[in-house]
Amino acid sequence: MPQLSLRRLSVCFCCREEGGLQPLDDTFVLDTTANEWRWPEEGSGSKPAVRNAGTMNLVGGGPESAGQLLLHGGWKPFVVTWNDSWLLPLDA
């Protein structure tokens, strides 16, 4: 698989059940160069808890690096609210 920094990718960390607030543990990657969706490869270590309403922003990046995605906050409706941050390196 080519380095992520050589391709145009969109990461979608989402979703909720249809018609409800229950968050799902779904992450998808859209490769806009190949025009196809795929699931990301599982890495090692921990991952964020399933959540709704978090924010995700690109941090860094440039011609030689894809940067990182910063996921912050969110909630599991009426159960818990998170004030945490997670970094996902895109050039791994």
Q: What is the pLDDT of residues 7-49, one digit of tens each?
A: 577 777 666 667 777 777 777 778 878 888 887 777 777 888 8
pTM (two decimals): 0.69
Residue count of the chain, please give it. Answer: 92
64-84 mean pLDDT:
87
Question: What is the DSSP annotation of 41-75?
Answer: PP-SS--PPP-BS-EEEEES--SS---EEEEEEEE
pLDDT at 72: 93
C-beta neighbour count of 43 within 10 angstroms: 10
User: What residue type is 55 in one-letter code?
Assistant: T
The proportion of the chain whose per-residue pLDDT surpasses 70, expressed as a percent, equals 78
Question: What is the total count of domains within the chain?
Answer: 1
Range of the domain at 83: 4-89
pLDDT at 92: 56
- Which whole-number Å values give the CA distances from 86 to 23, 36, 69, in the listed order? 18, 26, 8
